[in-house]
Amino acid sequence: MANRPSRRSRLALLRRAGNAWRRVSPFLGASRGKLLGLGASSVGVGLAEAVLLALIAALAASLSEGRGSVALSLGPLETTASTVTLLWIGFALAVVRGGFQILTAYLPAAMSANAMANLRQQLFEAFTRTSWSVQASERDGHFQALMGGHVSSTSKAIVLLGQAMSALLMFLTLVASAFVLSLPTALVLIVTSALLFVLLQPLSRRLRGHAKALSAENVEYSQGMQEVVRMAEEIQVFGPSQEYRDGFHRRIELVRLPLLRTRFLGKLVPVLYQSVALLLLILALAIVAVVGGDQLASLGAVVLILIRSVSYGQQLQSAVTQMDELVPFMDRLRQSLTHYAEHPKQDGAEPLPPVERLGMDTVSFAYQPGDPVLTEVDFEVAAGEAIGVVGPSGAGKSTLVQLLLRLRDPDEGRLHVNGEDARRFRRAEWNRRVAYVPQTPQLIWGTVSENIRFYRPDIPQEAVEQAARRAHIHDEILALPDGYDTVVGERVSAVSGGQRQRLCLARALAGDPDVLILDEPTSALDVKSEMGVQESLRSLKGEMILFLVAHRMSTLSICNRVMVVVDGRLQAIDAPQRLLESNAFYREAIEITRQQSTI
């Protein structure tokens, strides 16, 4: 029973090493070859060093005694050579060791840089391939935190893994050399290292706990930071109140404490290791002196090997400790990658024919089980129709749009195109034929042309300009300082709100879609800009299926039919004139609009 804790501790050490390896190895990818190279170079360093140390000890002994030749004892190999020869051999060994050492510095750096680039690509790919429901459920800043801190922590862990492996192999090579030179020395080395790891176990465990808290707080902090940038304009307008400042300061404080604890313990463990190791060494040397007897001849080499081993042991301990700090970051990164991969966008295999008819068959959808947002929605529209979508706030209009865009799939029922289930068709073609202009369109940092083309290099410049003409923005683009080459972006005021809306309309039209969905296309616009967008839509009518989600009833003037969505149910879908008679919500909304326009 008495030796139970220490056995458990030793097992814990093995577990820690295994855990670290299990966590880092999935991120190694193509770097495994480099890891093998690193292992080989480390053994090279260790061997060169062991022989060099024995040589130095022998040379020092012979020089102090003023002899011209040196009796060298390397375990079973006993030889005598001139001092000059041994000096040359020593010189060569030092150069060889230096060469291996350069490799042991280069390989972890290369592994880390590759891992950082690969991980970012992997993460980016996983994020873009995952479903909209997963992307939409993440808080702002989560992905940025993963791409930033978590990826660099993981690549740092790879450097540490390399360093740990190097230190371990050098340590083992020295232990093996010590076995050859002196059995008691080797035993002392093994016992000392085991004791050190056991003694430092509790501290390491605490360090892992603090590091986990730090990772969680870091994600929170990044999310908050993201909000600071995203809401910068509103904050400027509303004024950064004390409450806002206090909230952010609290976030900064929450990171401070686990950071302090993690950093402190991270530094303390190696320092303690050094002190305890030196104490144990003195004890060990005393034991070697007592039991070593005939080994005392090689005492110089033994001392040198002990000191070097302590240093490698310390490097190993320090690398493992630092890896412990990084484990939570790697865990979170792996969990996110798995989560993204487990929820891929569903795709169909068949090519999408031109959309003649589009509709829903008794579609129901819920974000949370048991809390339906759409219930048994049933309709069909034909090519060329313009359909308005109205309903009170929170009725489910935007959700309906997301289903039409195939960003989300119905829980029950089906979305159908030309009578076929939409899920059968390839998503890439759907994305091209079913275009969308969101409520608050976003511009990318790039030229006007790049904003309209939007990463679809197959769209020629003529099509870009044609789309701009159809969106009634071509002339205004030509009036910009560099025309289509003018750089615009989220915070560049080169374009007004109305122009931005029409630029995004041009973006949607550039792919020559069969279906165009506009979410509140004019809600944020002034009257003149609204008229511009209305004009564009009027000219598009009949060319494609148009869905106009609208709060402003004036937007509906071009619609053949209007859908009224109330409490997630499609209350009616009919011609505006008929709805005036048959639908209370529609009649009331029109009446309010009329009253407002006569004010």
What are the residues binding ligand ATP (CB under 6 A)? 136, 367, 373, 391, 393-399
**86 or 401: whose CB is closer to ligand ATP?**
401
Phi-psi sector, 408: left (phi>0), alpha (psi -120 to 50), beta: beta
Closest contact distance (angstroms) between CB of 99 and ligand ATP is: 58
Q: How far is CA 366 from CA 222, 565, 568, in A?
A: 30, 15, 10
Closest contact distance (angstroms) between CB of 393 and ligand ATP is: 3
Closest contact distance (angstroms) between CB of 551 and ligand ATP is: 7
Closest contact distance (angstroms) between CB of 406 and ligand ATP is: 16
The span from the CA of 240 to the CA of 228, in Å, is 10
β partners of residue 382? 357
**Own/partner long-range contacts of 557-563 (Cβ < 8 Å, ≥24 apart):** 558/386, 558/534, 559/386, 559/387, 559/388, 560/385, 560/386, 560/387, 561/381, 561/385, 561/386, 561/387, 561/388, 562/387, 562/388, 562/389, 562/390, 562/586, 563/379, 563/387, 563/388, 563/389, 563/390
**328 or 391: whose CB is closer to ligand ATP?**
391
**330 or 395: whose CB is closer to ligand ATP?**
395
**394 or 419: whose CB is closer to ligand ATP?**
394
* DSSP H/E element including 386: strand 386-390
Q: Are 430 and 422 in contact (CB under 8 A)?
A: yes
38's CB contacts (< 8 A; 6+ apart) are: 103, 104, 107, 108, 111, 162, 165, 166
Closest contact distance (angstroms) between CB of 129 and ligand ATP is: 20
Q: Are 485 and 447 in contact (CB under 8 A)?
A: yes
**119 or 373: whose CB is closer to ligand ATP?**
373
Closest contact distance (angstroms) between CB of 412 and ligand ATP is: 16
Closest contact distance (angstroms) between CB of 216 and ligand ATP is: 23
Give the pairing of strands 569-574 and 561-566: antiparallel
The span from the CA of 93 to the CA of 98, in Å, is 8
Phi-psi sector, 370: left (phi>0), alpha (psi -120 to 50), beta: left
**264 or 367: whose CB is closer to ligand ATP?**
367
**281 or 403: whose CB is closer to ligand ATP?**
403
Closest contact distance (angstroms) between CB of 517 and ligand ATP is: 12
**375 or 431: whose CB is closer to ligand ATP?**
375
**313 or 391: whose CB is closer to ligand ATP?**
391
Closest contact distance (angstroms) between CB of 410 and ligand ATP is: 14
Give the three-class secondary structure for 83.
Answer: helix
As given in the structure block, the two tokens for residue 534 are 């209305």
